[in-house]
Structure 1
Amino acid sequence: MGTATPRKLREAIGQALREAMTAPKVEQFCTGIGLAPPNPPDDVAITSKAAYVERRLGGKTQAELVQLALQVLEECEGGEDAAKLADLVARGSGAGVAGEMKNLIFAADGPKPEFVFRDALNNDLEAIKNEEYCLIYDRPLGADGLTWRQLGDWWTNHADLAHLPEREVWNNLHDRLERSLGGNPGERQILDAYKRRYRRLGPDIAALIPQVYLHYDPYHQARYGTNTPPLTRQRMDFLLLLPNRRRYANPSRYAEMMAEDRALRLRGYEVYRFGGHELDEPGIEQRLDQFFDDLARRYALQAG
């Protein structure tokens, strides 16, 4: 979609509202969020809802359009155009994810870990149960993101593998990450595709991190009974932490939850999803290789 500009934001807002609302609702919504009255006064949204919205957005700055887009997304209940708008808003809000990484909890291969705040003011967590079943990366995240080499260096110390050659450490780490995927063949295909990249390009590319806790609910599902828990999805399938706080997520577990998909985009994550059927199709290995190559190329262009 490219860089967010006022023109592209106006177009994307118009298209999202066109998809979500009837013409009268579009007119009411534009007035309700404080847009200037239509000019001429008899201008209506009947002929083209998107064009009508774009006309009423004329003169707004990029920052103003981003704020208006957030209001639009609150009203939209999914849809392709809303997803495109969310992606554009993430670009228009600045590069990367706001804030610093404090806790990277990933690759659980057993019972759910339990945490308490060791220091609530600083958001410091301490595992009090089942820590042995998950990995907790406890080093600061530098400006260059998290590479496979850095993750391997951390794993060397964490697993006490300093006596092993570097490549054996990396294989050991990959095996540990793979265990967290359980019996999911699609996720294994994605992790294996990235392992081929490590072999081809070396360890200084971004690490692909599986089963990352994005949210954390301390209670088990059974506690809620017939009520819906407040956090129905807590982990994303894969995460890439790239330089300049760029984060790429593959949350196939979010596939049925467009609201969560939009929330990730608005927080600065770039989201890519793969369907289970797609991962079963012939030639998926080549398509995964091509996807990661294209993703790396896109990031290089953005960073440049």
Structure 2
Amino acid sequence: MPDSFVGAGLATEMPAEPTAVDSKARDLARELVSSLHGLRHVDLDTAGASLGLDIPGQQPDPSPVGEDVTPLSKQQRLDRAFDAISPSDYEAVCARFLQQGNLSIELRNRVEDLLWSRENWPPITARVRRELAEALDASGAIWSEADGLLNVVKRHWVLHPPAWSFDWKDPYEPVARHMIWNPDWTTIEFFKEVGALDGGDRRFALFLEGLLSGSVNPNEPRQRALVAAISPVLTRAGLKIVESGTTDGYPDFTIVGAGTRPRPAQLILFASPHAKPALRIRDVLDQSIEVLTGDDTVLAYDVPVGERGLTWRDVESWWSRRRDIPAAQAKRELWQRLANVCADVSPAQRALFGAYYDYAKGHDPLFALLPEVWLHWDPVSRAQRGEDAYLNQRMDFLMLLPGLRRVALEVDGQQHYATSAGEPSPRIYSVTTRGDRDLRLSGYEVYRFSGYELTEDRASDTVREFFDRLLHWA
């Protein structure tokens, strides 16, 4: 729970440390902390604050009277800072170093690979990569802007000068020589030489997106021809290319799982205390929706959510602007509103909501968990439409994560499997399972929790175990 959530009435104990420590995360965090050794003593305090590290001062704790006090060396200060990191926070520390943007290319790539390894990213096999290279070769040259091509390679792959050459000081010169000056590499050879045939799945996808970008191919028809050439291969691999925006007037293309929604969310209706909001289509051609009811009925987040997902900071900043109130007041107001909505629904939903924010405190970015989100809205009454008119109209919780991931969390109460009288109902259960299928086919990830898992003595462990695997840290 962030420090701003004061007075929310939630437990503030940190979740228990995992029993198995990821050695890669630990070793990389140690290396990153040690890399601060080049700073002056006076600069370590500032660096520690920006990275969330508890770096002790140069003067150690007071000693008994009469004993000499030896100032700590920089290495001793950094060693103590590392020892103070909880094993569950190693990856968060690595992420903060990455966000600072001061790492070498090689170290940056190692941190990225560690963090991306936790993502549920579809595998891209060597065969798929070779088939993609063949499809690109068949469509003609894969680049038209030399600087753009080199920049994409340098952004994603760490190259070293060949051992047999003493003349090439720039490790990327072979790429320039064989792809630009004297283009005699096939795309498969190009992929092999830069490491794209066996690099991480997420890195390869980003590299491929770079080749499709306007910086490498500043010609939209050419961009679309390349997309058309490789789309069938990606489809067979369970992936697809979506057009996700523009940069400098050229379309951006993103590779996502085949079930992912093709565009960012444009409007989120959430925190509804079960009252149906009144909506009106303002412009049919633009699919523009106007919310007629006030904030007491539903909140309408109307800022398009981009590739990086939706964070709590995004939502509270939006609320501050909407209400024209200071940021600190906005944090308190919004938190209380969301917590109250969850409490009105069920103790289990309130427990999941509170346990998540308590678990996630200290993580950056802190992705927003929005309660009671409207998914379907039908202006026709239930009597006219039938008893299934409003099935799955709201999600208990929604998270929008990087890469256009939409995650729905559902807390199962009796209404998901029984009648109001408490009798088990196969029909009601079938409606629940059908709704899950519809959501998944529409590109949502759906996860269900039982009320039993979210009792007071179980909620913290349930939430920690789930979000460790879902985010870790996205």
2:270 match: 106
CA apart distance, 1:132: 3.6
Other-structure match for 1:277: 452
User: Residue 258 of structure 2 is aligned with which of 93, 96, 99?
Assistant: 93
What's 1:205 paired with? 366
1:159-187 Cα distance to aligned partner (Å, 9 max, x none):
2322xx53x43232111112222141000
1:243 to 402, 410, 416: 402
1:215 and 2:380 correspond = no
Aligned to 1:189: 351
Partner of 1:266: 441
Distance in 1 of aligned mates of 2:280 and 2:295: 12
Partner of 1:231, secondary structure, is: coil
1:41 is matched with none
* Code of the aligned partner of 1:111: A
Query: C-alpha deviations, 1:214-260, integer Å up to 9, x for none?
Result: 11112343455xx3243322000001101110111113466732122
Partner deviation per Cα, 1:174-223 (whole Å, 9 max, x = no partner): 11112222141000011101221343325x32100111111111234345
Task: State the alpha-carbon separation in 1 of the partners of residues 272 and 348 from structure 2.
Answer: 18
Task: Give the number of equivalent residue pairs.
Answer: 216
Shift of 1:156: 0.6
Structure 1 residues 198 and 2 mapped into 2: Cα distance closer, same or farther (>3 Å)? closer
Larger Rg: 2
Which stretch shows the higher mean deviation, 113-122 or 189-198?
189-198
Amino acid corresponding to residue 242 of structure 1 in structure 2: L
Gaps of 5+ in 1: 7-60, 67-90
2:318 matches 1:154: yes
Q: Which residue of 2 aligns with 1:172?
A: 333
Q: Deviations over 1:266-289 (max 9, x none)?
A: 222111100123223732222212
Structure-to-structure mapping, 1:125-144, within 5 angstroms? 125-129=289-293, 132-144=296-308
Q: Which runs of 5+ in 2 are unaligned?
A: 1-119, 126-232, 239-255, 418-428
Please tell me the root mean square deviation across aligned C-alpha atoms, in Å.
3.0
Aligned residue identity for 1:196: D
Same amino acid, percent of matched pairs? 34
Q: How far has the Cα of 1:296 moved from its partner?
A: 0.8
Instruction: Give me the whole-angstrom Cα distance separating, in 2, the residues matched to 1:143 and 1:293.
Output: 21
TM-score, scaled to structure 1: 0.62
CA contact (8 A) 1:214 1:234 kept: yes
* CA–CA separation in structure 2 for the residues paired with 1:243 and 1:138: 18
**Residue 263 of structure 1 aligns to which amino acid in structure 2?**
D
Counterpart residue type for residue 362 of structure 2: R
* Per-residue deviation, 1:111: 2.6
Aligned to 2:461, the other structure's residue is in SS state helix
CA distance in 2 between counterparts of 1:189 and 1:179 reads 12
- Paired with 1:171 and 1:249, the residues of 2 have a C-alpha distance of 25
Structure 1 distance, partners of 2:309, 2:400, is: 5
Q: What displacement does 1:139 show?
A: 1.0
Answer whether contact 1:111 1:130 (CA < 8 A) is retained.
no
CA–CA separation in structure 1 for the residues paired with 2:306 and 2:334: 21
Are the equivalent residues in 1 in contact too, given 2:275–2:297 (CA < 8 A)? Answer: yes
